[in-house]
Structure 1
């Protein structure tokens, strides 16, 4: 396969020393342009990133995943990115899914492609995780408007025009709901596609609690008033 030089993959990183080099290696086999934003990690994540082919951008303090995505998007745009993929650092995403999602953009079948673990995936979703995600999707007016099944999946592919028009202002985990809300108010063509999530013991330890998931929605609703 010819490497996709028009796409930049943005990976927010916080204390992912154990897996981040492997994640970058997997992604780099398809996408040579990778921006890893070390968000004030207290472990050796930055050193591990520096040993790879990825571009390392560092936040001196922990600002949150939303802030890291915005930093990475701005970095990629300055380097003439035609498309941007957001990709989690904990190893739960499959780069082959990202490749398929980018194909939708290249073939002009969508402006935004969102991954869903609930559309045709054979990988079982843990019960608590399923409850959290279904709660968020059900309570979010924007998710209902777009008929999304998985509003908080970190795997996304977006055209340059979309990210130029979209600024993430919520620094923490509520950025995912903010992105959906921004898309719901836009005229962009949005496609949700099935993706596989690898629920390893490591990635499970990074998951959101139900309480935190509901707090994300509350924070977003207050911000939009």
Structure 2
């Protein structure tokens, strides 16, 4: 590469794989995109466990083709159960220092996840929670924004943690904090449950600004009006 003054620019720094962190990716009927998501993630996070939560398509085969270890639920148990299965796998089968929860639909940024792991190391944090609202408005619809803000206020009230985004699936959790999780809620309620359980540890944490890619695919899978209603129902009755 040549700069405008004719001098050679230095080559980009090589990507250093993060081998002390495992990605945990829950998936349900994500065959269309999950292989690409995993292949991209493994450039930085070579260690990935994908938990296929009773998919009716070939999600498991696509995840394996992308290079992930695949654990399968014979029935659809919900995202909370899939996350717990993946976290338990990492704790029992590896000596990783960090668990990174990461969505299968391509919404999350690998660069954000890597920066969150670095923040956890540098600041000695037990968990780092992604927030789409720390850097100003996020490109979500008004109803979704209202529901997410309400969820954050409710979670802040029940946990004593000041949160701006309680339903962001991108999280970095240090091993000692991950060992104290016991997720039993499904649907959207697991997101509030994981916040409550992490907050109860009393360990140091912070939110971290992240970017969410709202593709047509991800909107169709998880950002619909029905999804917002599910979050609201779980807030009222969990």
The question of a shared fold, defined as TM-score above 0.5 by the shorter chain, is answered with yes
Would you say 1:177 and 2:192 are equivalent positions? yes
Report what 1:154 is aligned to: 169
1:198 Cα deviation from its structure 2 partner: 0.4
Q: Deviations over 1:116-148 (max 9, x none)?
A: 000116752222221220121123354672110
In structure 1, the partner of 2:11 is: none
Q: Distance in 2 between matches of 1:21 and 1:183?
A: 30
Unaligned runs of 5+ in 2: 1-14
Instruction: Point out 4+ residue stretches in structure 1 off by more than 6 angstroms.
Output: none
Matched residue of 1:12: which SS?
A: strand
Equivalent residues, number: 220
The structure showing larger relative contact order (alpha-carbon pairs under 8 Å, at least 6 residues apart) is 1
What displacement does 1:28 show? Answer: 0.2
Larger-Rg structure? 2
Of 119, 127, 132, the match for 2:134: 119
How far 1:171 sits from its partner (Å)?
3.0
TM-score, reference length from structure 1: 0.92
Q: 1:211 aligns to what?
A: 229
Alignment of 1:78-97 (within 5 A): 78=92, 79-97=94-112
Q: Secondary structure at the match of 2:160?
A: helix
Distance 1:41 1:81 in 2: 27
Contact 2:116/2:128 (CA < 8 Å) preserved in 1?
Answer: yes
Structure 1 residue aligned with 2:78, among 61, 64, 68? 64
Greater CA drift, 189-198 or 132-141: 132-141
Secondary structure of 1:209's aligned partner: helix
Alpha-carbon deviations, 1:132-190, whole Å to 9, x = none? 20121123354672110000000000100001112112133211100111123221111
2:77 maps to 1:77: no
2:20 maps to 1:20? no
Deviation at 1:218, TM superposition (A): 3.0
Q: Distance in 2 between matches of 1:71 and 1:42?
A: 19
Aligned residues: CA RMSD? 1.6
Question: Any conservation in 2 of the 1:20–1:49 contact (CA below 8 Å)?
Answer: yes
* TM-aligned CA distance change 1:144 to 1:124, over 3 Å: farther
Which residues of structure 1 form unaligned runs of 5+?
Answer: 221-225
